[in-house]
Amino acid sequence: MKHTPLHDRHVRHGARLVEFGGWQMPVQYGPILEEVTRVRTRAGLFDLSHMGRVRVTGKDRVAFLDLVATNHVARIPVGAIRYALFCRADGMPIDDLLVYPGADEVFLVVNASNTAADLEWMREHARGFDVAIHDQTDELAMVAVQGQESRAIVEKLVRGIDLSKLGYYKFAFGEVCGIPGVRISRTGYTGELGYELYVPAPEVGRVWDELCAAGEAHGMTPIGLGARDTLRLEAGMPLYGHEIDATHDPIQAGLEFGVSFAPEKGEWIGRAALAAIRAQPVRRLVGLKTDGPRAPRQGYAVVVGGEQVGAVVSGSPSPTLGTNIGTAYVPLALGEPGAACEIDVKGKRQAAAFCALPFFSRTRK
């Protein structure tokens, strides 16, 4: 397994380490639900260095990415960030990603478990384009501060950027802990205010330590991937391998905001298949809530009228809502908020109800 540059610090913090996407990562430092609450009420610090970071350069970079990505890259302003997917010709996702267009590059952030497949996909389709594809995953670390206290913490270490003016899904470059030219973005995967810092790998240990010191007065602690999964689920955000995968397309997953059918984008891989699904969808992604003793888990059957109508794709206890939550795919005619259903928990039925997504939303200013 690979280790991030912060591995020794996770060990020092007492994290429980697990394999994730080929990396040994901290799943928790303490009780997962307490970590969720800490991010919702104060702030949390995340090591995201396992995620893939790719820099695309060359005069054809935008045209190339408009062929392989679902969003309209040519229309994304410099300094803005957009969600997109790489899809096969049948419309099924290879991965989902964030796209950061710059003045002379397009920077991409992809999922850890799919980085190798993404790079292979891009290089396969780059033939005939004047582009260079540079995998920066090992040379550039990634950390994030998430939560209502995040701005107060990060601005202690940043120079050259007014974080109060950095909008949601925007990025800029500034000095962090004396390091010039650090990419700072505001996206997040928790539904909270938060910032991502892209730091040269040899420097990230010092940045992590200074963030820990700056966040101590704000109640910030390191947070593991277990809490991150619950936070993103509460916020209704997809996870590859759950809400989307090789059999779950972005249209029926409710992710059409990341898919452009604009004529000026031209043809792109998966367009025809996704247009056909868009014209005649047969299922949709919905939320579930249950006050029963068991949280929904991926693969549990969803039952209506004694018949299985779908399956859970994500689930967790939610300390923010005080109940158990999950997502599932069901036929279009089902899933209206408030309608009753059941989940099959290892042969036992547990009462549940459909609900709208997201489960949790905080106004972003």
**Diameter of the chain measured on Cα atoms:** 62
pLDDT surpasses 80 at 364: no
Please write the tens of the pLDDT for every residue from 50-70. Answer: 999 999 999 999 999 999 999
Q: What percent of the chain has pLDDT over 70?
A: 99
Does residue 276 contact residue 76 with C-beta atoms inside 8 Å? no
Task: Quickly tell me which residue has 């960030």 as its tokens.
Answer: 81
358 preceded by a cis bond (ω within 30 of 0)? yes
| Domains recognised in the chain with CATH numbers | 2-51+138-234 (3.30.1360.120), 53-135 (3.30.70.1400), 282-365 (2.40.30.110)
Six token digits for residue 73: 């890259």
Q: How many other C-beta atoms are found inside a 10 Å radius of the C-beta of residue 298?
A: 14
Decide: 345 and 268 in contact? Cβ < 8 Å.
Answer: no
User: What percent of the chain has pLDDT above 90?
Assistant: 98
| pLDDT confidence of residue 365 | 47
When pLDDT is cut at 50, 70 and 90, the band that residue 308 belongs to is very high
- DSSP line for 169-231: TBEEEEEETTEEEEEEE---SSSS-EEEEEEEGGGHHHHHHHHHHHHGGGT-EE--HHHHHHH
Query: Structure tokens of 191?
Result: 């539904």
Mean pLDDT, the chain, rounded, equals 97
In single-letter form, the type of residue at position 158 comes to V
Question: Between β-strands 52-57 and 132-135, what pairing exists: parallel, antiparallel or unpaired?
Answer: antiparallel
Using CB atoms within 10 A of its CB, is residue 365 exposed (0-12), middle (13-18) or buried (19+)? Answer: exposed
User: Cα separation of 352 and 98, whole Å?
Assistant: 34
Cα 51 to Cα 81, 192, 259, 263, 306: the distances in Å are 17, 20, 22, 32, 42
Tokens 């909270």 belong to residue: 192
| DSSP-derived secondary structure for 316-358 | EEETTTTEEEEEEEEETTS--TT-EEEEEETTEEEEEEEE-S-
**Site of tokens 């408030």:** 338
**Looking at residue 305, what DSSP letter applies?**
T
Average pLDDT of the segment spanning 323-340: 98
**Do residues 101 and 80 make contact, with C-beta atoms less than 8 angstroms apart?**
yes
Query: Rounded to an integer, what distance in angstroms lies between the CA atom of residue 144 and that of residue 45?
Result: 6
Write the pLDDT tens digit of every residue in 100-148: 999 999 999 999 999 999 999 999 999 999 999 999 999 999 999 999 9
pLDDT greater than 60 at residue 215: yes
The rounded distance, in Å, linking the Cα atoms of 296 and 123 is 39
Residue 362 pLDDT greater than 90, yes or no: no
